[in-house]
């Protein structure tokens, strides 16, 4: 992972550090959920900043930080065809099947 990608693009000297996406787990047993993002020069500071920015009131028992550019995502444009294969398979749902009356399954 590269550290601080410096893009000193303005007179005020504000550097644009890497963008990190933050995922927090509210309690054990729960999934990690996207909380937001932040800038940090390295992963240690990303974690510390994530704690300060997204968990000031015990909102998390565990935090993941991921460099935003390492995330692959679907695009709204291809979401139709991309998710298509799942849409016409009604037999993947329990309502597709009939069960004799009075039987509890």
Residue spans of beta strands (DSSP E) within 48-101 = 62-67
Report the residue number, 9 or 95, with the smaller CB distance to other proteins.
9
Q: Residues 30, 36, 62, 69: which binds other proteins (CB under 8 A)?
A: 36
Report the residue number, 75 or 99, with the smaller CB distance to other proteins.
75
Stretch that binds other proteins, among 23-31, 35-43, 82-90, 96-104 (CB under 8 A): 35-43
Counting contacts by CB under 8 A, is residue 57 touching other proteins? yes
- Cα 102 from Cα 105, distance rounded (Å): 10
In the numeric block, which tokens belong to residue 4? 């601080």
Give the residue from 43, 25, 45 showing the smallest Cα distance to 35. Answer: 25
Counting contacts by CB under 8 A, is residue 72 touching other proteins? no
10 Å CB burial of residue 19 (0-12, 13-18, 19+) is middle
Residues of the shown chain interacting with other proteins in the complex, contacts defined by CB under 8 A: 1-4, 6-7, 9-17, 19, 36-39, 41-42, 44-45, 52-53, 56-57, 73, 75-76
């Amino acid at each position: 992972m590269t550290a601080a990608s410096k893009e000193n693009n303005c007179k005020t000297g504000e550097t644009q550090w890497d963008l990190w996406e933050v995922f927090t787990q509210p309690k054990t047993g729960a999934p990690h959920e996207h909380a937001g993002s932040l800038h940090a020069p390295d992963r240690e500071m990303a974690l510390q900043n994530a704690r300060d920015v997204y968990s000031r009131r015990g909102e998390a028992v565990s935090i993941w930080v991921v460099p935003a550019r390492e995330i692959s995502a679907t695009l709204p444009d291809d979401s139709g065809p991309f998710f298509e294969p799942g849409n016409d398979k009604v037999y993947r749902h329990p309502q597709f099947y009939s069960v004799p009356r009075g039987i509890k399954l």
